[in-house]
Every structure is written in C-alpha cells, then in structure tokens.
Structure 1
Amino acid sequence: MIKDVVRSLVGFVVLGALVFLPAWTFDYWQAWVFLAVFALSAAIPSFHLARADPAALERRKRAGRESRPAQRIAVAVLFSCFPVMLVLSVLDHRFGWSAVPAAVALLGDVLVAAGMVLTVLVVLQNRFAAGNIAVEPGQQVVSTGMYGVVRHPMYSTALLAVVGSPLALGSLWGLVFLVPVVVALVVRIRDEEALLAQELDGYREYARTTRYRLVPGIW
C-alpha cells in the first residue's frame, strides 16, 4: 500500500510537471481541473479495486511487461504518445493556436473521468483483464456487460480519456495524437486476438458473436 501511494504521488508530480512547465504559469484553470479529475478518477476506483479484487489490480499494473514483439512496439508508441500529447496541448493553449470554449474543456474532463472509471469497471467485469497480454490458468471468455458491446472494452474506455485530455487542457491540436494511438491499438488488438484465438477456449466463438473490437458500429 505504501509503495502504491508513493508511486501515485510521484506520478502525480510528474504529470503536474508535464502540464505546468510548458505552460510556464499556474494561472491555468483548465490544468488544475484536469489534474484533479485525473487524480481522483485514478485513485478512487483503484482503491476500490484494491479492496474488492487485489489480484485483478496487480494484473492491471503489469502494463508494459510484454513478451511479444508487436505488443512491445504498440506499448512503446502508446506510452510515448501520452506525455507528448499533454505537452503539445499545453503549448497550444499557451500560445493560442486553437480556441476551446470552457464548456468543451469541461466536457473533456467528463470524458477523462468516464474513461478512467469505466476502465476499472472493465476489470471488475473481467478479473483477468490485465495490463499485459497473457492467458492465465483458469481464464475464461467473458461475453457479458461491456464485453457484449466490444471485444476490447478496456481500450475503448481508455480511448475516451485520450480524446478528453487535450480538450480538458484547452487544445484541439493535441487530438492529432489520436492517429498514432489508434494505429497502435489496432496493432495491439490484432496481435492480442491472434494469441487469444490460439490459447483461450471459446474465444473464436465469442469473436463471431461480438462483431466490434474497439468502437461500436465502426470496428
């Protein structure tokens, strides 16, 4: 628990630095609201998950520990895009490259909160949902709840937070990072499904009945 708290505090400090250093001012209400929403949306569901299912929380922390080459490339792109996206969004706001109304910035905060909270809900619906790609002993296909809508709801909900973050910081230019993020997710999903089809009983049948992978009605 102490390690988790320290890790969270360090992460929050780094996140604050990524926002306020390029802004070069603390007079930036969009950044304060974004940081508060991000911190609360990460901490509260995680503490709940730590009490409800500690093993599932540990699986979620494995993000980045990949053995498959395609997954390592996809994760590297995803992990590098987020901080650069934040910095570009802050610079956009600082120099006025695009105009984002306050209502749209607040909508961005709602998307960030929804994405992060729903990601934990995905873990509660499927306790084998993890930060890395692996099939574990006793794992079964989950086809109900959010898994009845798309095959990879954890990525779908995370995408909400990615869309919301630039808007919350008052930027439109930050949305350009949706392109490499979506490409990386497509690569990750295709490679993940190849593994699941081979190693997880019932996954091929599930894939036939649940058509969409990431965005309902699109793909």
Structure 2
Amino acid sequence: MIVRMFTQTFVFLVGMGVLMFGAAGTLAWPGAWCYLLELGALSVWLGLWLARHDPALLAERLGNIVQKQQSRWDRFFMSSVAIVWPVWLVLIAFDAQRWRWSAVPVWINVIGALGIAVCVIATRSVFRANSYAAPVVKLQTERGHKVADTGPYAHVRHPMYAATIPFFVGTPLLLGSWWGLACVPLLVAALGYRAVLEERMLAEQLDGYAAYAARVRYRFVPGVW
C-alpha cells in the first residue's frame, strides 16, 4: 500500500507539473517548484502517518474518485472536480507566468505556503478523529461506519472541508496569481453545496447523524456557517 501511495503521489505531482509548466511556457517558475515540493513532502508525510495509524483509511483515500457505492450526485461532483481543478491550475499558470497579469510579493507567496501546510496538518487531525473520511460520499457499512463527533468534529460538521479553504487560498498565493485567488469563493461555494448534499444523505442513512447535526450547529467555521 505504501508503494501505491508513493506511486499515486508521484504520478499526481508529475501530471500537475506538466500541466502548470506547459501552460506557463517555462520551467523557470520558482513558485510552482516550491508548490510541488511542498505538496509532495506533506502528502508523503500524511500518507506514511496514515499507513502506520489507520491503513484502512489510507486504502480508502487511495481509491478512485468515482466508485460504485458512491452517491450518484457525488459521482457527477467528483467528475466535475477532475475538470475544474486542471482548468484552475492552467488559469493560474497563464496569469502568473505566461501573461504576467499578477504581481504577488514574496511575503504573500510565503503566506500561501503556510496555508497549504495548515491544510495538511489540520487534515491529519481530521483523519485521527474520523476513520471514515473517504474522498467520496458513501456509506461504509462494511467498515462499521459510525458518526465521528470528537476532535475537530466536536466544533464543526465538516472540518476537512474547512481545512481545504486555506489550501484553496494558499495555492494561488504561492503560485502568484490574483486571478486564481478570485476563483476561490466559487470553489468554497461548491464545497458548501457538497456538504449540504452529504448531510442529507448521512441524516437518512447513518444512525445518529441527525442528532449530531442538531448538536453541532456549524458546518465549516464556528459562529459563521
């Protein structure tokens, strides 16, 4: 499984690199190299931690983004992500390097890198609290799926989505694109839409989730939403 994790991470990073540098028209893009190195290092760190502490969850995380047990609407959502994500990276590459519309200071790039690190570190706390945090929306009855309500789940109902927000913000900041940053509200709105649909499914199919949702009021950010 560790070999598979390394292989998938390598293929993913190479694919992103080809996409970004190809769209940028140059390899002389320090921000992109920093982005890929940071993302690779943090992904391997998190993957090795999962392999030691929760190999069953690691196996789920390495699964396909479209699965038979998955909710139909989530198959459409994840298929859309597979299109929107590369389009976003291409936009960032054109903006930051090929056309150079944006001029982002280095200290802002550093903030972007910190945002990505915060996302991955926060995600580890999510995995520690919820062994059923699969990348797709489905009920994992074969694994004894139950409600997670400890750790970050005691404060918000979707801490992994909340952790993704600094990643969405950090990516264009590190890569140097204000136009990429302008897309972030749309990406967050899409996450919010998925969260609402996911809750409907869990409330109907997972024992105790409706009571949990009534007890923990907020989805992403306490006091906000």
TM-score (norm 1): 0.92
Once residues 76 and 179 of structure 1 are traced to their aligned partners in structure 2, the CA distance between those partners, rounded to angstroms, is 20
Native 8 Å contact 2:161 2:191 kept in 1: yes
Indicate conservation of the 8 Å contact 2:61/2:135, yes or no: yes
**Residue 112 of structure 1: CA displacement?**
1.1
Query: C-alpha offsets along residues 42-97 of structure 1, whole Å, 9 cap, x if unaligned?
Result: 11111111121100111222352253232122223333222221111121111221
Corresponding letter in the other structure for 1:100: V
Shift of 1:215: 2.7
**Aligned counterpart, 1:56:** 57
**Consecutive unaligned residues in structure 1, runs of 5 or more:** none
Structure 2 stretches of 5 or more lacking a match? Answer: none
User: Structure 1: how far apart are the matches of 2:64 and 2:130?
Assistant: 16
- Matching residue's letter, 1:32: W
2:42 is matched with: 41
Worse overlay, 18-27 or 46-55: 18-27
1:136 aligns with 2:137: no
Offset of 1:178 from its aligned partner? Answer: 1.9
- SS state at 1:55 partner: helix
State percent identity of aligned pairs. Answer: 36
SS at match of 1:192: helix
CA contact (8 A) 1:42 1:117 kept: no
Match of 1:123 among 117, 127, 135: 127
> 2:156 touches 2:216 (CA, 8 Å); kept in 1?
yes
Find the residue that maps to 1:135 and give its secondary structure. coil
Instruction: Give distance in 1, aligned partners of 2:195 and 2:8.
Output: 28
- Residue 99, structure 1, aligned to residue 81, structure 2: no
How many residue pairs get aligned? The number is 219
* Cα shift at 1:146: 0.8
Shift in alpha-carbon separation, 1:63–1:178, aligned structure 2, 3 A = farther
In the alignment, what sits opposite 2:191?
Answer: 185
Contact between 2:65 and 2:136, CA under 8 Å: does it hold in 1?
yes
- Give the C-alpha shift of residue 173 in structure 1: 0.3
Answer yes or no: is the 8 Å Cα contact 2:203–2:210 preserved in 1.
Answer: yes
Q: Match for residue 112 of structure 2?
A: 108
Contact kept? 1:70, 1:187, Cα under 8 Å: no
User: What is the CA-CA distance between 1:118 and the residue it aligns to?
Assistant: 1.9
Match of 1:164 among 165, 170, 189: 170
Match of 1:201 among 201, 207, 225: 207
- Is the 8 Å Cα contact of residues 77 and 181 (structure 1) preserved in structure 2? no
3-state SS, counterpart of residue 195 of structure 2:
helix
Aligned equivalents of 2:55 and 2:147: distance in 1? 20
Structure 2 CA distance for partners of 1:172 and 1:16, relative to 1, 3 Å: same
User: Is the contact between residue 104 and residue 168 of structure 1 (CA under 8 Å) also seen in structure 2?
Assistant: yes
1:71 and 2:77 matched: no
Residue 174 in structure 1 maps to residue 180 in structure 2: yes
Distance 1:73 1:98 in 2: 33
Change (3 A) 1:76 1:216: farther
